[in-house]
Structure 1
Amino acid sequence: MTETPERDRQRWRVLAVCLSVGFVTTLDVSIVNVALPSIEESLDAGPSQLQLIVAGYTLAFGLALVPAGRLGDAGGRRRLFIAGLVGFAVFSLASGLAPTDDLLGVARLLQGVSAGLLNPQVVGLIQQLFAGAERGRAFGLFGATIGVSTAIGPLLGGVILAVAGSADGWRWIFLVNIPVIAVLLPFAWRLVPAPAPARGRGPRRLDLVGLALLAAVTVAVMLPFVTTTGRDDDPSRWWWLALGLAVGVVAVAWERRYQRRTGAAVLDPQVLGLSSFRNGALLGMAYFAGFTGIFLVVTLYLQDEVGYTPLQSGLVGMPFAAASGVSAWLAGRAVARLGRRLVVAGLVLVLAGMVTADVVVRTLGDEPAVVGWALAAALLVAGSGSGMVIAPNQTLALAEVPVASGGVAGSMIQVGQRIGSAVGISVILSVYYGGLAAGVDGARATGRAMLVTIGLVAVALVVGLVDLRSRGAEAASTRAPAA
């Protein structure tokens, strides 16, 4: 069907709403970092409560993704989009007004659920409305949005605290979401398309047992990481990982059986059988494990050890945000031509920036006037590479996935990213606080934590190289018969 100019404009308006939603929900992953000292003092919160406030959002976010993606693919995308927006506003209000740390933790969990309802619909809508090179550009803009929002979160948090004051300014970090959602909601109501009439074999049956099993696996894998701060570690928590593995085996067996019987499993074996999807999901998990944690440890280091204000520490991450936004926009235009090579080049740049940041902290850690500028320059290099990783990787991972499964497939990639973030934050904090507890100075403790981020990004690079080689071999085998 020929695309009319008005229909084309409509698609890009929907994308603008989707990008705005992606920005505000991802922003809440990192914006709270700079407010932790204020929350700790205001609500007398301990390390475990602070960890729940930060990582509980990520846990609930990840837990809701797959069910929301499946329900969206089954025809509920518009309803879930609207419900997620309303819920996000309501629980942002509850977070901002929370009188105790426990209630704040609960509100953050429910806010994360709302974000988890929204994001699969964003990915599903991009899959639904765009194809070919246009899809690459759309995902490029989405990747720029994710990268910028994650990196700019500490800066915006610092600005809010500077304006509203350190005592109760942290409340406005959550309350600021409400006017944003109030603006977005009418546009979403008018622009997000209603479900199209079912054609062919759409995924209309709901695999409730599969959804429950996948939810159990997600909780079991993420829980030990989001409840371990590095200060108060209970080894028994790690038994959750063994439980997650056992439930995962049951889930795989159930999904295979359900797919044979109905053809409507949550995790379609045909999708999981795509090496492009598997490699993209694994790369995203490893990358987010390293990429997300660095902002938290750098923020803690600059505030606790160097003496920067929340605003100053947020400004250090600004070059990363700007560079990742520009490079993601350019990468969205180039991914169809360069493919996995683009992602590999981006990972090399990220590694170069992170290694430089590690050297800066270890050598200039006792020079407050210099270390911030040097870290900003290193993060500029890392950010220019990050924009070449997130969106292009998602585009390549979903390139062969049928549109009817786009929401749940995109959700699985995001679940991997959320798990990666939880694992990375937990391990990095454990190394950082463990070093301080052992009497290591702040610069060296930060350097040790940065080595973890470097290692995790290096794992992502290895996956990217393996996928690049696999794609090259497939292309060669395709050309061979014609030779």
Structure 2
Amino acid sequence: MSPAGTPPAEPAASPDDRRRWQALGVGLVAAFMTLLDVSIVNVAVPSMDRSLGASPSDLQWVLSGYALTFGLVLVSAGRFGDARGRRTAFVFGIALFTLASALAGLSPSPAWLIAARLLQGAAAGVVNPQVTGLIQELFQGPERGRPFGLLGATIGISTAVGPLLGGLLIAVGGEEHGWRWVFFVNVPVGVLAVVLGWRLLPARPAGPRDHRRLDPVGVLLLGAGVLLVLLPLVQQEWRNPARWLLVPVGLLTLAGFAVWERWYARRQEPLFDLGLFGFRSYALGSLIALVYFGGFTAIFFIFTLYLQNGLGYSALVAGLAITPFALGSAAASALGGRIVDRFGRPLVAVGLLTVVVGLGAVVVVLDLAPSGVPVPWLTAAPLLVAGLGSGLVIAPNQTLTLSQVPVRQAGSGAGMLQTGQRIGSAAGIAAVGSVFFSSLAASDGDFPLAFRHSLLLAAGVIALALVAALVDVTLGHRRHDGRRP
């Protein structure tokens, strides 16, 4: 039975407090594992090349195919969890992810590995909206701050620590076949998550069966639109400029999706309720997430290239160099989740400003430091500052963005938010990576110069997210002032 005073539209789950935190723990482990595979593979590319003889195009698909299929299924999977039960979707997704990880580790050829990565990405896209929806379901109002803080820490740490774990696994497994352990490590964790997920996650509440349709036309239009937008961004091996024509076609397809959803909403519950964008918290929060991930994810991509290809550091050292960012992000995320209800969007703005300052400091210390000082030592302190700022962005922004989303739409709402993050990540890596490689070509292989130029662009992208946060803060102040007598 729902607790007294709970609105009928948002029935609260009623496991005891210990059980719901255990369920959250399982969800966070699954989120960490699936998000880790976005970045952990970057340092394994040379090992894959030696083992399988993969072409540059093959390696590009190994890296980008995961992000592509991840982004394709988020909203549809979130809606399925809303309508048919999050436990079922979560367990299915984790089981599929575990199987795909095993297949990837056993790959005898590049084609096999690419297929396994595509399947692995789709499975990750099924899992992640269920975790966010689970928080919405198990926690109410201000108490969501802490679990969202932990989720934000999970996102930040998994993205930043991926190269370090990848480097460690390759060092243990050997230069030729160490990349296989990057995938095999998921198997025991995944099996445990399947068992505990089925045992601890709440089943769909007893009562009348939810007969909401899954809107197949909406699924098709959204999937096609996201695919057309993402494909030219993630597939950088395509040199023909005509590939960029897919982006406007994809945007037109997404516009068609919006028209369809408005029409469908008058007859059935749609795949995604566009009315959520009527909430300023959801609209501006989604925009901040999209833009921030465009700069945030690209940092690790270019830093790893700079350290390994430009300066000759090992994969392990490159991973260690990023660790200060991960530690700062973890610490600040836990704090940010606790205090976001007190400070609101200004906390996100402070975090974004701190990230920009930290990245600017990286450029300054690299310019002014004397030669001979190891780069990882020079960048440790400014990256720690940037990580602290990031921790005040991801978790608080997610909490604020989803604060007004009804529980019955939590999965699809979170799925759309995460779809924006994936599109932002792909676009950011494409843009920042293009600046990196073009600067490298123009300067005859000057890696430090290319890194500085591309890092400044990443900081500029994050500054745009800061502008969006300040707009939200300003509108909030005006609304508050307007209510004064």
TM-score range for the pair, normalised by the shorter chain length: over 0.9
Corresponding residue for residue 341 of structure 1 = 346
Query: What residue is the counterpart of 1:81 in the other structure?
Result: 90
- Which of 292, 297, 301 is the aligned partner of 2:297? 292
**1:414 equivalent in alignment to 2:418:** yes
Partner of 1:260: 266
**TM-aligned CA deviation for residue 404 of structure 1:** 0.9
State the identity as a percent. 48
1:3-59 Cα shifts (integer Å, max 9, x gaps): 999711111111100111111111111111111122223222233222211121111
Output the CA distance in 1 between the equivalents of 2:218 and 2:347. 35
Which contiguous aligned blocks of 4+ residues in structure 1 show a shift greater than 4 angstroms? Answer: 2-6, 362-366
Q: In the alignment, is the contact (CA less than 8 A) between 2:13 and 2:137 conserved in 1? A: no
CA contact (8 A) 1:362 1:443 kept: no
Query: Any residues of structure 2 matched to 1:188-337 within 5 Å, and which?
Result: 188-197=197-206, 204-229=212-237, 233-262=239-268, 264-337=269-342
* 1:353 match: 358
Aligned residues: 475
Q: Which runs of 5+ in 2 are unaligned?
A: 5-11
Q: Partner residue of 1:115?
A: 124
Distance 1:364 1:412 in 2: 43
* Structure 1 residues 101 and 471: alpha-carbon distance in aligned structure 2, compared to 1, 3 A threshold: same
* Residue 155 of structure 2 is aligned to residue 146 of structure 1: yes
Structure 1: how far apart are the matches of 2:236 and 2:70? 18
Alignment TM-score, normalising by the size of structure 1: 0.95
- Give the secondary structure class of the aligned counterpart of 1:206: coil
CA distance in 2 between partners of 1:106 and 1:5 (Å): 41
The CA deviation string for residues 452-477 of structure 1, in whole angstroms up to 9 with x for no partner, is 21111011101111111122222223
The within-5 A match list for 1:387-398 is: 387-398=391-402
Deviations 1:279-315 (A, max 9, x none): 1111001111110111111111111111111111110
How far did residue 437 of structure 1 move?
2.4
What is the TM-score normalised by the length of structure 2? 0.94
**Alpha-carbon offset, residue 363 of structure 1:** 4.6
Q: For 1:366-385, list aligned pairs within 5 A.
A: 367=372, 369-385=373-389
- 1:470 is matched with 475
On the 8 A contact 1:152/1:314 being kept in 2, the answer is: yes
Query: Where does residue 7 of structure 2 map in the other structure?
Result: none
Give the Cα–Cα distance (whole angstroms) in 2 for the partners of residues 198 and 124 of structure 1.
Answer: 20
Partner residue, 2:176: 167
Gap change, CA 1:452 and 1:51, over 3 Å in 2: farther
Shift of 1:60: 0.7
| Cα distance between partner residues in 2 of 1:70 and 1:49 | 33
Cα distance 1:258–1:175, how it changes in 2: closer, same or farther (>3 A)? same
- Structure 1 residue 24 and structure 2 residue 33: aligned? yes
Counterpart Cα distance in 2 of 1:92 and 1:453: 31
SS at match of 1:382: helix
Rounded Cα–Cα distance in structure 1 between residues aligned with 2:186 and 2:367? 37
Alignment check: 8 A CA contact 2:148 2:399 kept: yes
Q: Give the CA deviation at 1:362.
A: 4.2
Preserved CA contact (<8 Å) 2:75 2:272: no
Counterpart in 2 of 1:452?
Answer: 457
Structure 1 stretch 118-127 or stretch 38-47: which is displaced more?
A: 38-47
* Pick aligned residue for 2:390 from 386, 389, 392: 386
Q: Does structure 1 conserve the Cα–Cα contact (< 8 Å) formed by 2:226 and 2:254? A: no
Q: Tell me the distance in 2 between the aligned counterparts of 1:440 and 1:372.
A: 20
Q: Which whole-Å CA distance do the structure 2 matches of 1:8 and 1:331 have between them?
A: 22
Contact 1:203 1:405 in 2 (8 A): no
Q: Distance in 2 between matches of 1:54 and 1:84?
A: 20
Q: In structure 1, how many angstroms separate the alpha carbons of the residues matched to 2:255 and 2:150?
A: 37
Q: Give 2:421's aligned amino acid.
A: Q
Aligned equivalents of 1:472, 1:63: Cα separation in 2: 37
Moved more, 58-67 or 467-476: 467-476
2:8 paired residue number: none
Residue 38 (structure 1) aligns with? 47
